[in-house]
């Protein structure tokens, strides 16, 4: 691959800013490394990286990289073995630095690792990788092609959360946090996904991940709609939605919330 300096110049020419070009380059390299690691079947890409790939919109670029291990432990030895296997991108060395940090955030349990990426000129960039465990038995991951043009000529074809799973996990978070949620970007992500998800698969995941989960208060779609409507009626919450970092679709907040509510209502029998 080109040197880091050359790759960063190419990203800037595509519209990436000084504030995120280094993180985007690290992300491209790691996705390419995952595809070449021989562990493709053991990993599922999730979160904002999936949304960025689905939208193809530079406004939805995320600086975070999240993966789940599939049918594999996330003990420290497994993580160290994965990092060793990531050294398959020509001209780049990838090393684990610092401690592996345990994460406990609401329902999420995982590990955070910090990586150092070094090119042949000696330039280095840092990356953060969060690793969880795929915890939805029977929920199939989908193959997705990720554009990693700065790291490889061909896309990195990896397994990832389906659009339906991304939608339902964001809905679940909104229901759990309600008006105190600071994940405003999720509303616009769900709105984008609403017209692109399969209705039957979405309903199945809502039933499994929300309605039948004893940790959730909502037991049916009507309850879900009521909860979301109350959240969207909170003025402080909708004021936060208007922030440009959340509203990557750049549409009126009232339009986004009303359309998303309409979609949820359309799922009810």
Strands 108-119 and 92-105: antiparallel
Dihedral, CA of residue 148, residue 146, residue 76 and residue 215, to nearest 10: 150
By CB atoms closer than 10 A (0-12, 13-18, 19+), residue 239 is exposed
Mean local confidence (pLDDT), 61-67? 81
Q: How confident is the model at residue 71 (pLDDT cuts 50, 70, 90)?
A: confident
Domain boundaries, the chain: 4-161, 164-267
Mean local confidence (pLDDT), 39-46? 92
Residue 242 scores a pLDDT above 90? no
CA 263 to chain CA mean position, Å: 22
Q: How far apart are CA 86 and CA 94, in angstroms?
A: 7
Query: Of how many residues is the chain composed?
Result: 269
Q: How far apart are CA 3 and CA 236, in angstroms?
A: 46
Q: How confident is the model at residue 18 (pLDDT cuts 50, 70, 90)?
A: confident
Per the model's pLDDT, the better-predicted residue between 245 and 132 turns out to be 132
**Per-residue pLDDT reduced to its tens digit, 194-237:** 989 999 999 999 999 999 999 999 999 999 999 999 999 999 99
Mean local confidence (pLDDT), 94-110? 85
H or E stretch at 92: strand 92-105
Residue 59 scores a pLDDT above 90? no
**Per-residue pLDDT reduced to its tens digit, 137-176:** 667 889 999 999 888 888 999 999 999 999 999 999 999 9
The 10 Å Cβ neighbour count of residue 173 is 15
Cα four-point dihedral sign 183, 185, 191, 195 = negative
pLDDT of residue 106: 62
Tokens of 234: 């909170």
CB 241 within 8 A of CB 259: no
Residue 189 scores a pLDDT above 80? yes
Three-state secondary-structure class, residue 265 = helix
Q: How far apart are CA 238 and CA 222, in angstroms?
A: 22
Whole-number percent of the chain with pLDDT over 70? 97
- Global pTM reads 0.88
Mean local confidence (pLDDT), 98-120? 88
Q: Tell me which residue of 121, 24, 105 sits closest to 64, measured CA to CA.
A: 24
Q: Which CATH class is domain 4-161?
A: alpha beta
Q: How far apart are CA 113 and CA 115, in angstroms?
A: 6
Strands 108-119 and 66-69: unpaired
């Amino acid at each position: 691959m080109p040197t880091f300096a050359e790759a960063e110049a190419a990203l800037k020419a595509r519209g990436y800013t000084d504030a995120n070009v280094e993180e985007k380059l690290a992300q491209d390299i790691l996705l390419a490394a995952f595809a070449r690691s021989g562990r493709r079947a053991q990993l599922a890409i999730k979160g904002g990286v999936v949304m960025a790939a689905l939208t193809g919109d530079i406004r939805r670029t995320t600086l975070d990289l999240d993966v789940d291990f599939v049918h594999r432990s996330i003990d420290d030895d497994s993580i160290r073995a994965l990092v060793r296997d990531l050294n398959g991108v020509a001209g780049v060395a990838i090393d684990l630095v610092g401690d592996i940090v345990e994460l406990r955030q609401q329902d999420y349990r995982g590990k955070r690792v910090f990586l150092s990426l070094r090119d042949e000129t000696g330039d280095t960039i840092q990356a953060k990788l969060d690793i969880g465990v795929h915890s939805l038995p029977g929920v199939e991951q989908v193959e997705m092609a990720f554009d990693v043009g700065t790291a490889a000529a061909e896309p990195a074809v990896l397994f990832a959360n389906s659009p339906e799973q991304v939608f339902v996990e964001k809905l679940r978070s909104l229901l759990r946090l309600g008006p105190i949620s600071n994940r405003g970007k999720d509303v616009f992500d769900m709105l984008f996904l609403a017209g692109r998800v399969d209705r039957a698969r979405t309903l199945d995941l809502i039933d499994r991940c929300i309605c039948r989960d004893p940790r959730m208060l909502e037991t049916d779609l009507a309850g879900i709609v009521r909860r979301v409507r109350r959240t969207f009626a909170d003025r402080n919450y909708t004021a936060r939605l208007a922030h440009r970092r959340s509203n990557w679709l750049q549409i009126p907040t009232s339009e986004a919330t009303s359309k998303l509510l309409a979609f949820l209502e359309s799922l009810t029998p």
